Amino acid sequence: MKQIIIAIDGLSSCGKSSMAKELARRLGYTYIDTGAMYRAVTLYAIRQGLFNGDIVDADALERKMSLVNVSFGVNASTGRSETYLNGENVEAEIRRMEVSKHVSAVSSLPFVRSALVKLQRQIGEKKGLVMDGRDIGTVVFPNAELKIFVTATPEIRAKRRLDEMKAKGEEASFDEILANVKSRDYQDTNRSVSPLRRAPDALELDNSDMTIAEQNEWLLQHAMSVISSISEKND
């Protein structure tokens, strides 16, 4: 069967990473969480003391970007891809609220996006890839064979994020998370560089009222339909 690139974009806390990971697993594709890449750079900036409140010292971060190495490795026990920052597994740390509060400030910086988009395109050269983020179908892979745009109501997304954090033993309030979700929506859709947009040819998936199993089946059906169609054309 012909291998393709599947681009999954959408709003924060829609479960894009989880659904993309599962789709990649079922297809035998490589999965790349681009959001995790920006979170890793954000974590680096936090550790380096480059934030003054919500403001990041962009000049200092730009000077240090050559020292930031983001990579992925497969967890042998789960079979899932996990994020590494300069060789350290930071998968759990980049999901914490402190990083969530600051990631939009970092991801909007042109030099950060340029560096990570270049890396993302290098990874995608071999195809057989599922990649999720904010600008995959519009900027990184505008010619991806299948593009999905995921959305859900802010309240549903905040509740899911709260449940996820509670399951990890982390403390957070619904109101704080909801405010963060709405803030990130505004920043992601209004930034000057690569704003979050639905690509004209992207299929919309509103999973507000869908179970995880339902959305996974929806994705698999659409992916298999595109893969089969392209494979038939090339035969």
Q: Check residue 65 and report its DSSP letter.
A: G
166-199 pLDDT, tens digit per residue, is: 888 888 899 999 999 999 899 889 988 788 999 9
3-class SS shares of the chain: helix, strand, coil, % to 5: 55, 15, 30
pLDDT at 235: 66
Output b/e per residue, 122-143; b: 16+ Cβ within 10 A: eebeeebbbbbbbbbbbbbbee
Q: 155-163, long-range: CB within 8 Å, 24+ apart, which pairs? A: 156/208, 157/11, 157/12, 157/13, 157/14, 157/181, 158/13, 160/13, 160/15, 161/13
Question: 159, 19 in Cβ contact below 8 A?
Answer: no
pLDDT digits (tens, 9 = 90+) for 23-76: 998 998 888 888 899 999 999 999 999 999 989 999 999 999 999 999 888 788
How far lies 137's CA from each of 7, 21, 120, 144, 221, in Å?
A: 5, 17, 12, 7, 19
pTM above threshold 0.85: no
